[in-house]
Chain A
Amino acid sequence: MYYILLFIPTIVYMLIFLYNHKSPEFLGMPFFYWFQILMLVITSIFYVLAVFLGKDDG
């Protein structure tokens, strides 16, 4: 569970075709850019979930 939660954001980032588009734009920023910025926040949420919910052996 711990490792799965950690891995999900990386998979999303690797699927570039999902976000390699110009629109919808935000303040003139193409989707390609602002989606990846938004993903930083989502990534942190996944990591926090992993740390508080998941168990690892460390």
Chain B
Amino acid sequence: MVSVVVFLLLFIVFSYLGLKGKDFKAGNLDLLHEWALGGQRFGALLLWFLIGADLFTAYTFIAVPSGLFAKGPIFFFAVPYVAMGFGVALAVMPKFFAISKEKCHITAVDFVKDRYNSKALAITIAIVGILAELPYIALQIVGMKVVLATLLMQFKGINQNFINELSLSIAFLILSWFTYKSGLRGATLTAVLKDFLILGTVVVLSLYIPLHYHGFYKAFEIKKAYATLNPKLISAYISLSVMSALALFLYPHAITGCLSSSDVKVLKRSIAFLPVYGIGLAILALFGVLIYEVKPAMDMLNHIPASARGSFVVPALIVSTMPQWFSGIALLGIFIGGLVPASIMAIASSNLMVNILRELNIANSSNETKIAKWFSFLFKLIPLFFVFVVPPTFAIALQLVGGIIVLQTLPSIFLGLFIKNLNKESLMMGLLAGIGFGVYELESVNHFGLIQNILMPSPFGPIFIGAAALGVNIAIVALGSFYQYIFRNNAQ
């Protein structure tokens, strides 16, 4: 009971901050870049929170520990992914930022349109960006449902499913309301609250539980096979981490986060320190193994069907080892850990929608902010339908499906920054071929059923489907651009 009261009280504080956000570094919220990019006035510390907030989401708290719990060390790939991801960001984003700032771009789509002078390519990239965000938002929803289910478990004899759905809807309505009112400012302020709660939770849990149970000895005794990576999976480990790292800053919301910075120096400094943030992610991931030595938590998990069991690892560890008031705080942290990123992702997707409508001459400067605000609402609802495509234990597959899709925009966005002679028709063909290949492989390795597997066979061993799809894509872009280059030279 205490945990529910603490949870609700903190949620009220959270909503208040979200609404108050509109007065924070105030600006005219009827202008799109004020609403969507916080007026580009965010300094290093706030940026650190805003971009870092993307790291501590349901992916970190629910999906990765669940993967380790069910399948072992292969899912520790999330750690090198974080380290490499910020390296990719440092290599690419300063250049991207400079160009965007100079030409007042708000999204990657503005950049693509300007660079290749192609409406069709710009619209396609926008659609692909939105498609990639939807499963990622769905992952956040899975996480929030797990938290609510954990909170409700203590009450016997009520309709748990109904109350779960009801509370989730209420939370979403409140979130949508303040996203509408305060835009990215609201999300950033609540991201600070979320990070404090979550960092507190991570520090307490990662000191208390391993020390209380005398380290990880017993857990790795019970799960001997989890001690090292199966050499057969090295190709999978590398491809998953490298491809996820490349995808990280192709996501529209990550680009939005970067563009809200006040200048390049600030951006670079805040990114350089972000890998340290990954330590929390790594320890949470290890909870997926640690839980095997914590008996009360395992007893809890045994009541949950196997298809969802893994997703309860961290919440079960919290409620079975911590006092009620602390559980309330920690669970709220995880809950808004899904809610805030969902909001940031929805804002980014709606910016892209405005891009599309502007190309089609439907949106203009008088109505674009209103359109973006309404779409940010819609993009929180659509992902509800994706939640059921993946069993909760393999919720990480949702993020990886988004990865397969968003990776296909890499040639147009990242390569386009460094290589001048890319040809727009080949970029388009490569993009479509990459997505077609990726989706087909994904469906065929899962036998057109629920998505659990994201690896496919290759001459080097199993690899992440996204790697092969990107390979197909780049091959087409390279061949096409090279052909055009030669052809043009001969014609002159």
A residues with CB within 8 A of B = 3, 6-7, 9-10, 13-14, 16, 20-22, 25, 27-30, 32-33, 36-37, 39-41, 43-44, 47-48, 50-51, 56-58
Contact = CB atoms under 8 A, between A and B. Distances in A.
A51 B269 contact: yes
Nearest to B218: A28
Contact of B227 (A30, A44, A50): A30
B227 A32 contact: yes
A13 B95 contact: no
Contact of B84 (A3, A9, A56): A9
A54 to B, nearest CB: 9
Interface in B235-286: 237-238, 241-242, 245, 264, 268-269, 271-276, 278-279, 282-283, 286
Nearest to A14: B238
Contacts of B215: 27-29
B27 interface: no
B282 A47 contact: no
Given A6-B90, A9-B87, A58-B94, A48 B272 contact: yes
B234 interface: yes
Contacts of A58: 93-98, 264, 268
23 contacts: A9-B84, A9-B87, A13-B241, A16-B234, A21-B228, A27-B210, A28-B214, A28-B216, A32-B228, A33-B282, A36-B76, A37-B283, A40-B79, A40-B83, A40-B279, A41-B279, A48-B273, A50-B90, A56-B94, A57-B95, A58-B93, A58-B94, A58-B95
Contact of B271 (A7, A29, A47): A47
Contacts of B264: 58
Contact of B275 (A28, A32, A43): A43
B217 A28 contact: yes
Interface in B38-70: none
Specify the main secondary structure of chain A where it touches its partner. helix
Contacts of B98: 58
SS of B interface (majority): helix
Given A40-B279, A43-B275, A44-B273, A33 B286 contact: yes
Contact of B279 (A14, A30, A37, A56): A37
B2 interface: no
A56 B95 contact: yes
B326 interface: no
A20 B231 CA distance: 9
A2 to B, nearest CB: 8
Contacts of A41: 275-276, 279
B268 A13 contact: no
Given A16-B237, A16-B238, A51 B272 contact: yes
Contacts of B86: 43, 47
Interface string B130-150: 000000000000000000000
Given A40-B278, A43-B87, A32 B97 contact: no
A28 B219 contact: yes
A58 B210 CA distance: 44
A33 B210 CA distance: 14
